[in-house]
Structure 1
Amino acid sequence: MTSLTIRDAVDSIDIDIGGTFTDLVLTFNGERHIAKCPTTPHDLSVGFLNAIEAAGEKVGLTTEELLPKIDIMRYSTTVALNRLLQRKGPRIGLLTTEGHEDVILIGRGAQWTDGKRVTERRNIAIQTKPLPLVDRSLTLGVRERIDSAGQIVRPLDEEDVRQKLRTLMERGARAIVVSLLWSFANPIHEQRVREIIREEYKEYHIGFLPVVLSSAVVSKSGEYERTMTAVLDAYLQRSMQNDIGATWDKLRESGYRGAFLMIHNSGGSADIFKTPASRTFNGGPVAGLMGAAYFAERLGYRNVVAADVGGTSFDVALVVESSVRNYNFRPVIDTWMVNVTMMETISIGAGGGSIAKVDGSRLSVGPESAGSMPGPVCYDLGGTEPTVTDADVVLGYINPDGYFGGRMPLSRAKAEKAIREKVAAPLGVEVVEAAALIRHVVDENMTSAIKRQVQMRGYHPEDFVVFAFGGAGPTHMTGFRGDVPKAVVFPAAPVFCAMGSSIMDIVHMYEQSQRMVFMQPMSEKLVIAPAQFNAVVDVLIDKAQRELQSEGLAVEDAQYTLELDMLYGGQVNVKRAASPLLHIRSDADAQAIYDAFEKEFSEAFSPLVVNKPGGVFLDNFVLRVTVPTWNPELPVHQLQGVDASAARIGERKAYWPQTKQWVQTPVYQWEQLQPGNEIMGPAIIEAEFTTIVVPPTDKFGIEKHGLGVLEPITPPTRRKRVMSRIAVAA
């Protein structure tokens, strides 16, 4: 792999592999092109290369001609979660401190419901803890002990380690995780255990096996979470290595010699072969969030709901006051709590492939999905269960002959048949009513997810704008935006997560847990020790610089920011706050850091719970290192006037629940619309990979950057806005 020369890297490929489609954004010679292909679950590299081939056709190049011209390739994928769900990882052996062998079996109190849907959490009586990834027979304790201050209480018994290691190998372990008590405070025992394993099983031995140290994976307190993070990395390492390695080999064979980066759930990207598996979870939705923040800043929007409707899921995240520093307080991967820094996004099972089912007299949509194979019934690939896409076809919103740029014709007859037999007949309604119900239910599910993020957090929906993306986002935005008055559609909306990764900087996160008293209880005096504080920061900076150099990145381009996990005494609410300074050089510096924490804490919880008499404690240091990448600016076009008739390509019958009747609805071509054009609903706007639905109550216009904006024809009255605020306050 060549060294990264970020300042000169302007030609890039960004790929996001979802459960249904593989999305691609090609930035080439200063222009962006998008491509979309069905995901190939049996071999993700096939869909990967198909998308590159489709993008190459748009610039008149074959894959072999295009790839040598590309400088950077960024990649987000669901491969880690897919492999985890299949439970086909190697047998993991776990070495921990003697007497603490049951930590991952006990878990946290909430482990019963970690990763479960809301409906499952409500019925806790039938919940069970997840089956462990490590058999109890493969979890052994070694004789050693380090205390919370990092002092050795009991020296490591090396002979005991060798004996336990041989036992694990005899029992079938094919990867070893080492997670000892307080190893983040002093990793010396974990490091020595790894040396012993390497002494026993050398690189040229058949029994050579991966070794993962919890202190190396995440140097933070929380024994269960730290151990599970290391276990997940070990469990997924080989399968991800094989999958991504196969893709990399095919890219090399086709002439690619540029950098290969993986999108991280922390909001950045890094060398794909130096990325732990746990950092790849949810990378696609995080890329969409970062893209939303980037474009929101340039468009002048301070508060944005990033809403991604794909084939399998609906992902929603917030940009609040131009900030995306919202992290999962209790990050969960599948059903295990972990200790990695993950940007907060909410995902529910609602998308174009979500399956509609009738249970008695109740209609539910999702979370089960038809995926890409066999897909919705209308794909005519063997699917039998009606989906949201089938409903959109029956209602007349999606053109069966123009789907996927006309390359994927759909069967309206089969969609109608499935809805009639599986939904309409059991409910005793007409097919079109059943299709409208399917659409209504899935839209309400998505609206509820947005309300939990906006209204339930005390924000006012009229202060936000929705960025609707994903293949089905523009099709359903009028239904799920709820009380948010405006929705924005980007030309690259169907591949927006890939677009988001194309503007993401290279970001590395380094963490170190160390408890320090920042403000003395009762006296409210700042007592943080500057030398101790600065020493931790300097260690993190040194580690960051060594890693940047190893990846071929220019250290002088790196930008460093510090975030601190702090809390008030007597409280459990930890707040990660941005520190205005990297080091403490004076009392004024300490005061500035505290003031920043108090401000963010007050905004997140309430000024009423600020508890200075209880003191302030610092739990964890987070160093964020950013290497900026090149990003093009949004184009500005001259407005051409409101008349959109030149983009009109015909009309077709569509069913509008607002009037409960079929209407001959004008159809427009997205690519032919000009800035300044305005379309009154009802209308349908077709693009290559998505369809924009404009109901009778809304209007759709193209603004100066070429973006689409959906708004009500009649703005909400002042009374409605006031009542909305009263409801939020209540």
Structure 2
Amino acid sequence: MTTRINIDAGGTFTDCFTLHDGEAVSAKTPTTEHDMSECFFQGIRKCAAQLDVGLEDLISDVDSIRYSTTTAMNRLIERKGPKLGLLTTAGVQDYPQIGRGPRWADGLTDSEQRNISDAKKPEYLVPDARTNGIRERVDSEGTVLRPLDEDHAREQIRDLVDRGARAIVVNLLWSYEYPDHEQRIRELVREEYPPSYLGSIPVFLSSEVMPTKQEYERTNTTLLDAYLSELMQEHIADIKERLEAFGYEGDVQMLHNTGGMAESYKTTAVETFNGGPVAGLKGGEFLCDVLDYEKAVVTDMGGTSFDIGILTGGGVQSYEFEPIIDRWRVSGTMIESKSIGAGGGSIASVNDELGGRLEVGPESAGADPGPACYNRGGTEPTVTDADVVLGFIDPEKFYAGNQSLSVDRAEEAIETHVADPAGMSVTEAARNIRRIADGNMGNTVRKETMLRGHDPREFILYSFGGAGPLHAASFSSYLDIDTVVTTPYSPVFCAMGSATMDTLHIYEQSRSMFLRDSGEEPTYDVDYDEFNGVVDDLKAKGRRDIESEGYDPDDITYELELDMRFGGQIHVARVGSPRLEVHDESDVEAICEHFIEQYTERFSSYSVTPEHGITVENFALKARVDSPDIDLPTEPVEESSPEPARNGEREILWAEADQYRSTAVFDYDDLRPGMAIDGPAVVDADYTTTAVPAGWTYRLDTYRNGILEQTAGTDAGSTTQAPTGETQ
């Protein structure tokens, strides 16, 4: 018997997906921001009830618990971390405040960047008063030019503590080449403030957190890790303590933005950023393999945000070029995804400064008080309120029937904040809110695919999240995508995706090496021992960490990725290396040729200049242990009428219709694989509703995935579903 519990704590809802002895169940529960452990266990409790297993019996029988959370990042936005102190090389202690040229724009939306007059640099995590310089100097090759002045270092450490620092970050120039000075400073801190003291000071070294080039990004990464670490440790410790009380003896595995996971004590706080959306991408990758799709756009529309990821070749192919967390540019290997403020809780408003233009998002009503229709005190109109007014959501069946929605509250909020200021009716305002939300999502997906050189018409669209299937057919029209896939686990898909992820650690080391000299004729020249030495050091770290998590070292697989560039170019491109080590010229040639091939595919042949030489700037080694495959339950496909699943009709105002139309409603639980529904129709499930416009069909496959396919450009809403499933 195998049991896996997978939990994704989002800004509005916390999702739980549990596999138990071949059975898969899922649950949603409101996120309890005041106590995140509460929603964690509420989700498990709901799954245990569906499995008819006691909570203690389920938890004590668990093989693994996988968790992604926005807790740390929420606290970052609120600036509720500890006071930090920063030690860097004397003479350059101002560079964190100066930053890079475009720092003022980091983390801002496109519209915010265009409003230059109001754009401001964020207040840095460490003020000048708690940033001190240390007398030492190392050059770019790791040669000590000035030894560490230990007496001066002790003075600077004491000064930071006297100024209120409760954690110290150390980032010295070129420390990734020569970490000894940083390590000695940590020893000095411990000598001054021993762990046995109540006032002991945690120390974070950039050479350990992120041993890579670019001191600004390296500093930000280390600072964020220090800023969020204490909160994450307390949060996970609380959860683990409660799990132990139920008999669970293992650790909690945290989802990483690298596409893998690791036990909590082997996870940095920065690695948890965006872990949920990345889990959704990995789940989409799993489905591509199961359903045999090569290209897919993965979308997740929840209560707060709309997340997008691109899969080509059946999987994830790209990382964030310059990753940003909140307002800080950081270093690290993060899978590329895009998030915008477009969810069910996105707030609609009329912008008087822009001539009364209607805007939707990015602000969200969250889960508490939530949309006005929740009747919990929220007064501002949201996308969910518009969907309720238009009839897409049954107010008595929302959230598996556990929460009744108020249509009157939704209408009042839309009338007060949108309809009256804009001079339109409530229904017209609701239609415009939905239309703008769909347009924001569709155009964002279109931009993300086309700017990467892809034709969206060649892709299928995965639609996940509680609100995703309700809007998928509408926003896919902006992309000319005619196939949308939903799953039985769409409302909890990020949690489901985590069940497919492997244990994975990524180790990076900056090191510049020439692989190919400049010249028309290729000449490959590299120090084999130096190249292999870097790889061996990274492999040793991976073996140490994964063995400490209880895995057999023989089960570890290693993959090498290299940040490479052509001579004369500034930016690097990361490619998977076809060789883990190099032993002769043919190995080096294979790496260079693979780089040229990958670079050509991404950026075109016009920018490929191997005659200028090829260099490696950074090594990234993946140490992976594969997780057992998951088997999703299946049912036989038999063509039959969907009539047994029909559950009455609902008045819905479709996009192209001029009035509410009586629309067939189907119950997802009663549908069987092979049944096909012609639109317009809606399919109600416990935690989501799928809208099937006119000109679309909806059918279930053997995995009970809902497949939406566009069949014709019928006038949406102009026909009514007949009892036989045909239009009349």
Q: Taking structure 2 as the reference length, what is the TM-score of the superposition?
A: 0.96
Q: Which amino acid in 2 is paired with 1:250?
A: R
Match of 2:699 in 1: 701
Match of 1:357 in 2: 349
Secondary structure at the aligned position of 2:360 is classed as strand
Structure 1 segments unaligned to the other structure (5+ residues):
1-8, 717-730
Match of 2:682 in 1: 684
Structure 1 residues 273-422: aligned runs within 5 Å? 273-360=265-352, 361-422=356-417
Secondary structure at the aligned position of 1:199 is classed as helix
Match of 1:5 in 2: none
Secondary structure at the aligned position of 1:709 is classed as strand
Match of 1:187 in 2: 179
Match of 1:512 in 2: 509
**Aligned counterpart for 2:223 among listed residues 217, 231, 238:** 231
Match of 1:484 in 2: 481
Structure 1 residues 39-188: aligned runs within 5 Å? 39-188=31-180
Secondary structure at the aligned position of 1:661 is classed as coil
Q: Distance in 1 between matches of 2:43 and 2:636?
A: 33
Match of 1:614 in 2: 612
CA contact (8 A) 1:179 1:215 kept: yes
Q: Distance in 2 between matches of 1:251 and 1:96?
A: 41
Task: Figure out how many residues of one structure are paired with residues of the other and give that number.
Answer: 708
Give the Å deviation of 1:634: 4.0
Q: 1 or 2 for the larger relative contact order (CA 8 Å, sep ≥6)?
A: 1
Deviations 1:92-136 (A, max 9, x none): 011100001111101111111000011011112321111011011
> Is 1:249 aligned with 2:238?
no
> Is 1:540 aligned with 2:538?
yes
Deviations 1:312-365 (A, max 9, x none): 000001001223131111100100011011110000000000000012321000
Matched residues, percent identical? 45
Q: Distance in 2 between matches of 1:459 and 1:553?
A: 40
CA contact (8 A) 1:651 1:665 kept: yes
RMSD value, Cα: 1.2
CA contact (8 A) 1:377 1:386 kept: yes
**Aligned counterpart for 1:712 among listed residues 688, 706, 710:** 710
Q: Which amino acid in 2 is paired with 1:696?
A: A
Match of 1:3 in 2: none
Q: Distance in 2 between matches of 1:478 and 1:436?
A: 15
Give the Å deviation of 1:457: 2.1
Deviations 1:19-75 (A, max 9, x none): 000000011011110010000111111111111111111111232221101110000
Q: Distance in 2 between matches of 1:628 and 1:143?
A: 46
CA contact (8 A) 1:142 1:157 kept: yes
Out of 635-644 and 554-563, give the one that drifted further.
Answer: 635-644
Match of 2:725 in 1: none
Q: Which amino acid in 1 is paired with 2:701?
A: E
Match of 1:725 in 2: none
Out of 653-662 and 562-571, give the one that drifted further.
Answer: 653-662
Match of 2:2 in 1: 10
Q: Which amino acid in 1 is paired with 2:675?
A: N
Q: Taking structure 1 as the reference length, what is the TM-score of the superposition?
A: 0.96
Q: Distance in 2 between matches of 1:381 and 1:320?
A: 43
CA contact (8 A) 2:556 2:623 kept: yes
Q: Distance in 1 between matches of 2:691 and 2:634?
A: 25
Match of 1:674 in 2: 672
Q: Distance in 2 between matches of 1:634 and 1:28?
A: 12
Q: Which amino acid in 1 is paired with 2:409?
A: K
Q: Distance in 2 between matches of 1:210 and 1:700?
A: 56
CA contact (8 A) 2:11 2:31 kept: yes
Q: Distance in 2 between matches of 1:702 and 1:715?
A: 22
Secondary structure at the aligned position of 1:266 is classed as coil
Q: Distance in 1 between matches of 2:656 and 2:45?
A: 42
Match of 1:466 in 2: 461
> Is 1:447 aligned with 2:442?
yes
Match of 1:723 in 2: none
Structure 2 segments unaligned to the other structure (5+ residues):
715-728
Give the Å deviation of 1:398: 0.4
Give the Å deviation of 1:658: 1.6
CA contact (8 A) 2:288 2:315 kept: no
Q: Distance in 2 between matches of 1:200 and 1:236?
A: 24
Q: Distance in 2 between matches of 1:214 and 1:439?
A: 46
Q: Distance in 1 between matches of 2:543 and 2:57?
A: 36
Q: Distance in 2 between matches of 1:318 and 1:573?
A: 22
Give the Å deviation of 1:715: 8.0
Q: Distance in 1 between matches of 2:415 and 2:112?
A: 29
Q: Which amino acid in 2 is paired with 1:510?
A: Y
Q: Distance in 2 between matches of 1:529 and 1:204?
A: 47
CA contact (8 A) 1:113 1:124 kept: no
Secondary structure at the aligned position of 2:6 is classed as strand
Q: Distance in 2 between matches of 1:501 and 1:142?
A: 43
